[in-house]
Structures are given as structure tokens and as C-alpha cells.
Amino acid sequence: MERYSVITEKNPREIVLLRAFPCAWGKCAFCDYIEDNGRNREEMEEQNRQVLSQVTGRLGVLEAINSGSCFELPRETLEDIKQIAGEKNIRRLIFESHWIYRHRLEELREFFRIPVTYKIGVETFDYDFREKVLNKHADFKSPQEVARFFDSICLMVGIKGQTREMIRNDIAILKQYFSHGTVNVFNNNSTPIRRDEELVRWFMEEYRWLLDDPDVEVLYNITDFGVG
């Protein structure tokens, strides 16, 4: 498991994959990522500290991801991130959070005292597919609701049952309402959700231009950020 990487192309930054307590929701139909979480606080804190020791600060930006939301990271790990940010002159932090934490986002901004960019895994703005198929437990009805709280969104494409029209709508929303986004091409895992190969081929051809868009990162494989 790789837990530290440096991204030098779009949105240059260092990125770390940390361990956290169980995802507060933990029932997304497509996700087996939560198997990386844990309950042994001391063990997780020590492992996270070893990962964070690799951070150099050379790009001034650090993204910390985990198997859930940043609010599930151990408190000591948050303290370690704050200390490293000060020591390494990190000017911006990037975290991901579930919709259920939307009213707590300012907590970490106040805690770190440097700009924090928040990502959210929207997956799709098609309400029925998001809630009834993916079981995301994110009850927003419009992109404007999401944009009130979050800076960047993560979309998922290439799932059986998803349509081209859904994807077209999601990409259009990303470009209209958000300054940055990540598009994850779904890869089969241990869940029953399956990849639609034909839809993936269409997407990669139809939206090839996203590969050159400086504001959108396309992850064809789950490890394309160098961690995982």
C-alpha cells in the first residue's frame, strides 16, 4: 500500500493516504475502500505519523485523504498535520468530506489557520441513481446546494445503469459550478456494482479533452494519484 506521493502536473501537491476511524456512513454500494479504516487509535496515529514524516512542503500544498471523511481522522493526526504545515511552510490543505459533515467544514479552517480546500464525493447529480443505486446518503437536490459548502467535486463514471445523459449532465455541472473536479472511472472491486466497459470507452473518447483541462483530473485507475 503506497501512502505518499507527489503530483506535479495538474494542481501540484503532495498527497498522503492516512488511516482513520470507520466512515460515519460506510454504506455506499460501490465502496470497499472503508476496509482501510481502523479502531486502534494509537496504531493509526503512529502509522499516520510515519506517512506524514515524508512530507517535504516543497510544493506548498498538501492533500490528506482517508477511507471516509477528514473528520474521522484521529485528533493527534490532525495535530501532526498542523505541526507539519507550520514547519514545512505549507500554504494550503486539501481534505475530502461526506455531505453529512457540511456544517462542520469551518472547524478545520479555524483549527489550521491556513486555507483549506474541501472535496466531496458527489459521484453523480442524478438523485435517483446516487441514492437508490449507489446509496450515497447525500440528499442534496441541486449543484448550487453543494457549491455552497464545497470547493471541488468527485464524479464517478462507467457504472452499469448509468447513462450517457447522466454523465453529460454531471460534466456540465462540474464545469459550470465548481473551480475544480476529479472524475473517477469506475473499476470493479469486491462490491456488486459493476463497470460498464462500453460506457467507459465512450466517455474516454467523448471527454478526451478533459485530460488537457487544467481544472479536472481524470483517474482511470484508482491508484493514478500514486497512493492506494
What's phi and psi for 118, nearest 5 deg?
-110, 130
Of 139, 144, 166, 141, nearest to 155 (Cα)?
Answer: 166
pLDDT at 37: 87
Average pLDDT on 4-21 reads 96
pLDDT at 1: 82
Q: How confident is the model at residue 139 (pLDDT cuts 50, 70, 90)?
A: very high
What confidence tens digit (pLDDT) does each residue in 171-226 have? 999 999 999 999 999 999 999 999 999 999 999 999 999 999 999 999 998 666 77
Q: How confident is the model at residue 228 (pLDDT cuts 50, 70, 90)?
A: low
In the predicted model, is pLDDT for residue 62 greater than 70?
yes
Radius of gyration in angstroms for the set of CA atoms belonging to the chain, rounded to a whole number: 17
What mean pLDDT value characterizes the chain? 95
In the predicted model, is pLDDT for residue 89 greater than 70?
yes
Instruction: Work out the burial of residue 122: count CB atoms within 10 Å of its CB; fewer than 13 is exposed, 13-18 middle, 19 or more buried.
Output: buried
Q: Which CATH superfamily is domain 4-219 in?
A: Aldolase class I (3.20.20.70)
Instruction: Work out the burial of residue 2: count CB atoms within 10 Å of its CB; fewer than 13 is exposed, 13-18 middle, 19 or more buried.
Output: exposed
Percent of the chain with pLDDT over 90: 92
CA distance 18 to 175: 29
In the predicted model, is pLDDT for residue 3 greater than 70?
yes
In the predicted model, is pLDDT for residue 51 greater than 70?
yes
Q: How confident is the model at residue 121 (pLDDT cuts 50, 70, 90)?
A: very high
pLDDT at 221: 82
In the predicted model, is pLDDT for residue 33 greater than 80?
no
In the predicted model, is pLDDT for residue 112 greater than 90?
yes
CA distance 152 to 148: 11
